[in-house]
Chain A
């Protein structure tokens, strides 16, 4: 009972803040709403017993990504404000495409219901994630380090001062 109330509150906060992200005219407010929706997603992860992922979500997304985006906005908008219209004229077309996709996905869900019961948590999920990362998925894990190095060098290269 408490779980479904918590899920409902989380879902409402998540969807409302996501709508605010795409609809608000001020880009700066949009980023703050994005931080709220990312935090709500961390709550959804918690409701799925994935505490480790909720922590990563808060650290990397709500902490890191939002900070980077705020810096990018400060650099690229000379005055943070809503003097430039942020949405295009094709609101109707965008709404049509996104709505059609949603209807299609929900229709597929309706045709093939997934009556999977929720199994009990078996052991420590964080421990299982760590063991899986360093055994089965150790190669992608190492490649991730290479990717981060490449991304870091690339970002530094692009953002270097003019000489």
Chain B
């Protein structure tokens, strides 16, 4: 398969994830959309690393995967904390700072 095919696949995946982030009401749903977007970025990194013969892209993918896991753990801890305080996980209800 050509590099173009992988990049197109990743672009589609990224846009699907962006659509999820923009339209989900539940904060956990928004986090799932972010997961999809980061996944698309990983595909791009690995594809470029493979086609350019440079292993750095794959090392960066290791980093992004690990950082994503830390991000999800912290994000979900925040969601649980917010739920405990406000009894809701819907992003529209979290308008404490609205003037």
Q: For residue A77, give the distance in angstroms from its CB to the closest CB of chain B.
A: 7
Main secondary structure of the interface of B (DSSP, over half): helix
Q: In the bound complex, how far is the Cα of B31 from the Cα of A148, in angstroms?
A: 19
Q: For residue B66, give the distance in angstroms from its CB to the closest CB of chain A.
A: 6
Instruction: Check if A69 is an interface residue, CB within 8 A of chain B.
Output: yes
- Interface size bucket, B side? 35 or more
Main secondary structure of the interface of A (DSSP, over half): helix
Q: How many A-B residue pairs have CB under 8 A?
A: 225
For B19, list chain A residues within 8 Å (CB). Answer: 22, 94-95, 97-98
- Interface size bucket, A side? 35 or more
User: Do A132 and B23 touch (CB < 8 A)?
Assistant: no
Q: In the bound complex, how far is the Cα of B71 from the Cα of A49, in angstroms?
A: 27
Q: In the bound complex, how far is the Cα of B28 from the Cα of A68, in angstroms?
A: 11
Chain B positions within 8 Å of A, measured between CB atoms, are 1-9, 11-20, 22-26, 28-29, 31-33, 35-36, 39, 42-43, 46-47, 49-53, 55-56, 58-59, 61-63, 65-74, 76-81, 83-84, 89-90, 92
